[in-house]
Amino acid sequence: MKESLLHLVWEQQLFKTVDLLTTDEQTLKIHKKGILNHLQGPDFGNAVVEIGGQKWAGTIEIHVKSSDWYVHQHQEDINYQNVILHVVYEHDVEIFDKHSNSIPTLELKKQMDSDVLENYKLLIGNSKQWIFCESKLKDFDTFKLSGWLERLYVERLERKVGEIERVFLKTNKDWEAALFLLMAKYFGGNVNGEIFLNAFSQVDYTIVRKQIANKTTTSFLFGLVGLLAQKSVEDGYYELLKKEFTFQKQKHQLGNLQLARLNFYGCRPPNFPTIRLAQLIAFYEKHKTVFASILNLDGNLKSYHEFFTIKMETYWQLHYNFDKPSKKSSKQISKAFVNLLLMNVVVPMLFFYAKNQGKDTSFLLDLMYEIPVEKNSVISKFNQLGVKTNAALQTQALLTLKKEYCDKERCSECVVGIYLLKKRNNFKYP
C-alpha cells in the first residue's frame, strides 16, 4: 500500500462517501476535498469538511497508518497545525497536535471501493515486468495518452528549469552567460560536460565576450580546460595558443585558475573534447550574441539547423588532437547533435525565459513536434508495447514516464495507471 494510491482514492473519492464517521464516532461530511499539494506540507489544501455538525476549513493529511503522523514528526511541524482531518488506510493509534488536541481521523480500510484495491494488487503484483501496465498499454486510448505525454513533457521542462535557474543566478541573471555555460556543458557531453561547465564558470563572462569579439576564444577556452598544459607537443599552432593563453591569464589576473583534466577515453574521435570545444568556439565566433539571435529566429527546425551551421578552423578540419594530423573533414555540427542541443539546452532555456517574462510557451511544443524521435532502448521498448512515437516531444515524455513514474511505482499518479485502477473488472480477462 502506497500513500500515492490513497491520494488517488481521496482525490477521486473512490470510497463510500455517505454516512461517514470518524474513528471517534463523529459524523463526517466532505464539502470540498481540497487540492493536491505537490510541495512540502499537508497533502491537500483548501478543504472543507463538517465534523459533528461543525464546519472546518483547512488542510488534510493522508497516511497509510495513523502512526505515520508521529513517524514523520508532524506533531512538531508548524505546517501541520491547520490539519482538520487525518485520512488513513488503517487507524492504529490516536494522534494529537503539539497542543495535545485530538485530530479527527477517517479510516478508509472498510470504505474503499473493493475494485480499486483489487486492481492495485493485480497491477503491481508482477514485479518481473518492465513496467506494471505493459500488458494493457497498447489498448489505452491514444488521444488520452497524447495529452498525458504533453503534460509529462512540460513536467520535464519544469524539472530542467531548476538547473537553468541556478546557472542563471550564478551569472547575475545574464541570459547570454547562462546559455553559454549550458551550451558548454552539453558540448562536453556525459564525459566532459561538468568539466567544461566548472572550468568556464571560473571566469566572468565579460572576459569570454572579449575573447569572442577578438577571435582569441580558442586559446582562452582551450587553456581553461587544460588542453594547453600538455607536455612534449611539437606543434606550431599549439605553441601559439599556449603563448596567447599565458598573455590572457596575466592581462585578466587569472592566476588562481583550477585547470581541468579532460577525458578522451570512451569518446569517439568526432566527440573528442578538442573537436566539441572547437565547434562551440566556431559557433560563438560566428554569432557573437547567441541568446539574442535565438530569440529572433523563426522558430522552425530548419532555421535552427541553419543557425548551427559553422565553418571550422582549418587546423581542426585536419586534426582531432594536437600534433596528430588526420584526413580533412568539415567536422560540421551534425543535425542529430543540433536536435539534441535543442531538446536539452535551447528549448528548456527558452521555456525558462518565456516563463520569466510571462510569455506564451506553446511555440516550444510546436518545435518539439518537429524534431525527429530519439532512438534508445527505453523508446524501443515502449514502441514494442504499442506506444507509437513520431516526434521528440513524445520520446522525451516517455523517458520521464519511465524514470519518474514507472520506476518509482507512481501508477496512481499516471493517467494510464489511474484508468486501470478505476476500471471495473479490468484485470478479469486477458
Residue 221 lies in a domain: no
pLDDT, tens only, 102-119: 999 999 998 888 888 888
For helices 142-170 and 175-200, angle between their N-to-C axes, nearest 10 degrees: 70
* 176-204 CB burial, b ≥16 within 10 A, e <16: bbbbbbbbbbbbbbebbbebbbbbbbebe
Residue 291 lies in a domain: yes
SS3 (DSSP) at 130: coil
The 10s digit of each residue's pLDDT in 296-316 is 998 899 999 999 999 999 999
- pLDDT band at residue 388 under the 50/70/90 scheme: very high
Within this chain, do residues 141 and 156 fall inside the same structural domain, yes or no? yes
Domain boundary among 112, 134, 159: 112
Same domain, 292 and 360: yes
Co-location of 106 and 122 in the same domain: no
User: Within this chain, do residues 62 and 152 fall inside the same structural domain, yes or no?
Assistant: no
Q: Are residues 193 and 64 in the same domain?
A: no
**Predicted pLDDT of residue 424:** 59
Asked whether the predicted pLDDT for residue 430 surpasses 70, the reply is: no
Give the total number of structural domains in the chain.
2
Give the separation between CA 127 and CA 125, rounded to whole angstroms. Answer: 6
326-to-74, 240, 269, 318 alpha-carbon distances in Å:
66, 20, 11, 5
Tens-place pLDDT, residues 203-235: 999 999 999 999 999 999 999 999 998 878 889
Is residue 405, in this structure, part of any structural domain at all? yes
Q: Which tens digits make up the pLDDT trace of 323-381?
A: 889 999 999 999 999 999 999 999 999 999 999 999 999 999 999 999 999 999 999 99
Residues 179 and 327 placed together within one structural domain of the fold: yes
Question: pLDDT digit string (tens) for 246-266?
Answer: 999 999 998 888 877 888 988
Mean pLDDT to the nearest integer, 150-167: 94
Contacts of 231 (CB under 8 A, 6+ apart): none
DSSP code per residue over 256-290: T--------TT--GGG-HHHHHHHHHHHHHHHSSH
Does the residue 398 lie in any domain?
A: yes
Higher pLDDT residue, 427 or 282? Answer: 282
Q: Supply the pLDDT for residue 371.
A: 97
Residues 106 and 147 in one domain: no
pLDDT at residue 338 in the model: 97
What rounded mean pLDDT belongs to the chain? 92
pLDDT for 180: 98
Query: Do 417 and 335 share a structural domain?
Result: yes
Residue 260, domain member (yes or no): no
Say if 68 falls within a structural domain: yes
**Whether residue 108 is found in the same domain as residue 120:** no
- Cα separation, 116 vs 8, whole angstroms: 10
Tell me, yes or no, whether 138 lies in a domain: yes
270: pLDDT strictly greater than 50? yes
Let me know: does 228 contact 241? Beta carbons within 8 Å. Answer: yes
- Single residue among 65, 86, 112 that ends a domain in this structure: 112
Last residue of a domain, one of 83, 112, 141: 112
Mean pLDDT in residue range 133-152: 93
Residues 181, 54, single domain; the answer is no
> How many CA atoms are closer than 13 Å to the CA of 48, on its beta-carbon side?
3
pLDDT at 323: 86
> By residue range, what is the domain housing residue 11?
3-112
Instruction: For residue 239, give the H/E element and its range.
Output: helix 236-251
- Residue-wise pLDDT for 5-50, tens only, equals 899 899 989 899 999 999 999 999 999 999 999 888 999 999 999 9
The pLDDT value recorded for residue 293 is 96
Instruction: Tell me if 339 is assigned to some domain.
Output: yes
Structural Rg of the chain based on CA atoms = 28
Domain shared by 307 and 181, yes or no: yes
AA letter at 291: F
- β-bridge partners, 107: 88
311 and 181 together in one domain: yes
Task: Report the alpha-carbon distance of residue 228 to residue 319 in Å, rounded.
Answer: 15
> If DSSP states are collapsed to H, E and C, what string results for 320-362?
EECCEECCCCCCCCCHHHHHHHHHHHHHHHHHHHHHHHCCCCH
What percentage of the chain has pLDDT greater than the value 70?
Answer: 98
- Mean pLDDT in residue range 269-294: 96
119 or 173, higher pLDDT: 173
Instruction: Please give the pLDDT value at position 115.
Output: 83
